[in-house]
Amino acid sequence: MAVASRDIEVGYELDGVKKQAVIQLMGSRHWGRLNPIHFDPVTAANHGMRAPIATGMMSGAYLAETCVNFFGKTFFENAIMEGKFVKPIYAGEIITTHGVVRERTVDGDRVRLKVELWAENEAGEVKTVAWVTADVK
């Protein structure tokens, strides 16, 4: 259910999502099947990683889900999302997303919101950051 509206104020905290990065998904053809560092522990170890890593698309999808829950269809109609992958997400980590409205700009009959987003693991390490701007009616 979308909650974004013209009345949302700066500082509003979005409801996040909580997901576990599981090898079964990381190795699916949709997420990383072409590169074994995403699903094979031996290959990941041979490349100096402690476990297989999630693709950037996975953490991006977690943040996008947070945005869909907040903006609703507006996220698909006029949102711009920019992000950065800060640290790898390893198999088994629990990832929680967060978001805060940082800017609110009135532009005629629309209100433009800029939201800061981040995904972190259970230890509080930030893994992915993003910014989304969208007009709400």
Domain 13-20+54-136 sits in which CATH superfamily?
Answer: Hotdog Thioesterase (3.10.129.10)
State residue 80's pLDDT score: 97
Percent of all residues in the chain with a pLDDT value above 70, rounded to a whole number: 91
Hey, where are the domains in the chain? 13-20+54-136
The pLDDT tens digits for 9-25 are 999 999 999 999 876 66
**130 in Cβ contact with 82 (< 8 Å):** yes
Helices (H), 19-121: 23-26, 41-46, 56-71, 74-78
H or E segment at 133?
Answer: strand 126-136
Of the listed ranges 26-30, 78-82, 83-87, the least confidently predicted one is 26-30
